[in-house]
Every structure is written in C-alpha cells, then in structure tokens.
C-alpha cells in the first residue's frame, strides 16, 4: 500500500486504461479485465478524459458498477480545460461518464498555457464543492514541481503521474528524491506541505513495463525472469513496485495479463538502487 499526503492508503499496484474505450467490440473484454483486477486487489483505476475521448471513462463506469465503495478512481483533465471556468465543466463531464458523485483523485494531464496558480485555485474550488476528493498533476518534471510548490494551496497536491520504468529512469536523479522528502520545499526554500500533510507526494508510474516490446525483449530481463520462474513483464513491474511511495498503473485489456500483473507483487527483488545492474 502507498499512503497519500492526507493519510489515505491506496494499492501500490493499480490499473491503467490507456487505449481503452476506442473499440466498441472490445468493451466487454475491457470491462471484464478491470473487474477481475478489482477482485485481485488492484482497486485503483486510472483513466482520463483524453483516453478514447471519454470512452475509457465509460468503460470504467461499467467496470465499477456496484463496486464503487471498493475502487479509488483517478482521472485527468486536458490542459486546455485547466482554467477556473473550464475545469468545473470538464470535471462534470467526467463525473457523468464515470457515473460517480466525486473523483477520488483529479489530475492535470500535462502543463499547458493556463497559469498553474489558476489551475490550483480551480482544483481547490472543486474539492471544496465535493466534486473531487484530491487533486494532483501528471508529467511534471522537477522545475514544474518546484514552481507548483511555490503556489499557495499547492500543499494539497496528492500525486504526480509520470513515465517510469527500467528504460526511463530519469526521475531517480531529481524528481523522485524531491517528492520522497517530507515537508517538501519549493524552489524559494519555503516549506509547502500543510501542517497535517507532512508525507511525501507519491509518484504514479505509467507505462511501468515500457512501450511496445523493446524492454520485454531484453535478454538480461528475460534471464532474470527465468530465474524467478516468471515473465519479463512481471519482473519489470516488480522492479517499479519495489520503490517506496510509487504506484504502478499497468494497462491490461485481457484477463490473462491482469492475472500476470497481479502476481508481480509476490516477486521479491533486492531493494538496492541497482537491483538489475546489467540492464
């Protein structure tokens, strides 16, 4: 489990929905895969208004029917919807597609032209109105996070969703150390965590097993997988999960891959910084 800054605990292994909701013929299989994942303990589901232009949110809605109390729903807003006037409208559209009363975690998908301070203000208004329970960001690098932390009310930021896997480890050099520090400081040196929010800001790792088959065809990774009597994807996922304060959100559109992902939490890898030094 990973603890959010407000004390809420969520599974370290969740489910992603990128490319879901694009094919009506795949809808039933996608819903079944998500529901199986929930049954296997992957009760955090990440989606976005961009995915299938709302189609993925509709898949999630069908998947969590009669399971809402068990599921932690994350969705994301387009940057051009991040203003004080447009964000409430985008949120309402997502709530309608998801068929829920409130989003558990609402993220800015990536930075756009809307000033961050205005987006934070809009997030806080939605939180006060009960439309969202928490807010966060996505695809923010070190400079983005330092700028964010210098904004009033930014202490409420609950997560940063970024690319992180064995092939893409750049965040380990700057962003990850910053976000894993309690009482985070902005670039100006001011502490920007709230009095009752001294926990680090978690990272949500998307594409935790890489893009395409490049990483999974790595000979060394396959060798390690063979040693553990498992698959390369499970080793790659277990490697991400070994990091404290990191939530992995792999996407699996069929039940076989869902079961494989779920079993990755059982794999124990060394907790040193270089558990797979040959990669």
Bridge partners, 191 (sequence order): 185
Please list, in sequence order, all residues whose beta carbon lies within 8 angstroms of the beta carbon of residue 264, skipping any fewer than 6 positions away: 13, 230, 233, 234, 235, 237, 238, 241
Cα-only R_g, the chain: 18
Selected catalytic residue, list 51, 106, 164, 206: 51
Q: 3-class DSSP state for residue 4?
A: coil
51 catalytic? Reply is yes
Question: For residue 227, with 0-12 CB atoms within 10 Å meaning exposed, 13-18 middle and 19 or more buried, which class applies?
Answer: exposed
Alpha-carbon span 49 to 34, nearest angstrom:
18
Q: 3-class DSSP state for residue 185?
A: strand
Alpha-carbon span 112 to 182, nearest angstrom:
28
Residue 108 main-chain phi, psi, to 5 deg: -80, 120
210: left (phi over 0), alpha (psi -120 to 50) or beta: left
Bridge partners, 137 (sequence order): 108, 160
Sign of CA dihedral 250, 251, 257, 263: positive
Which stretches of 192-231 are DSSP H helices?
A: 219-227
Could you list the active site residues? 51
């Amino acid at each position: 489990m990973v603890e959010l800054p407000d004390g809420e605990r969520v599974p370290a292994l969740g489910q992603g929905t990128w490319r879901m909701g694009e094919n009506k013929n795949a809808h039933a299989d996608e819903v079944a895969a998500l529901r199986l994942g929930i049954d296997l303990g992957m009760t955090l589901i990440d989606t976005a208004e961009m995915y299938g232009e709302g189609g993925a949110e509709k898949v999630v809605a069908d998947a969590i029917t009669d399971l809402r109390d068990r599921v932690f729903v994350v969705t994301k807003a387009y940057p051009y919807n991040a203003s004080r006037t447009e964000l409430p409208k985008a949120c309402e559209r997502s709530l309608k597609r998801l068929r829920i009363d409130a989003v558990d975690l609402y993220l800015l998908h990536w930075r756009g032209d809307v000033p961050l301070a205005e987006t934070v203000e809009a997030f806080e208004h939605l939180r006060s109105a009960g439309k969202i329970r928490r807010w966060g960001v996505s695809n923010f690098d070190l400079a983005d996070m330092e700028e964010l932390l210098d904004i009033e009310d930014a202490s409420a930021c609950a997560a940063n969703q970024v690319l992180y896997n064995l092939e893409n480890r750049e965040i380990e050099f700057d962003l990850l150390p910053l976000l894993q520090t309690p009482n985070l400081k902005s670039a100006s040196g001011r502490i920007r965590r709230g009095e009752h929010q001294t926990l680090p800001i978690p990272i949500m790792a998307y594409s935790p097993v890489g893009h395409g088959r490049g990483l999974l065809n790595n000979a060394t990774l396959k060798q390690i997988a063979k040693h553990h009597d498992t698959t390369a994807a499970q080793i790659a996922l277990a490697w991400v999960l070994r990091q404290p304060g990191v939530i992995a959100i792999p996407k699996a559109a069929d039940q076989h891959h869902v079961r494989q992902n779920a079993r990755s939490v059982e794999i124990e890898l060394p907790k040193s910084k270089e558990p797979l030094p040959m990669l």
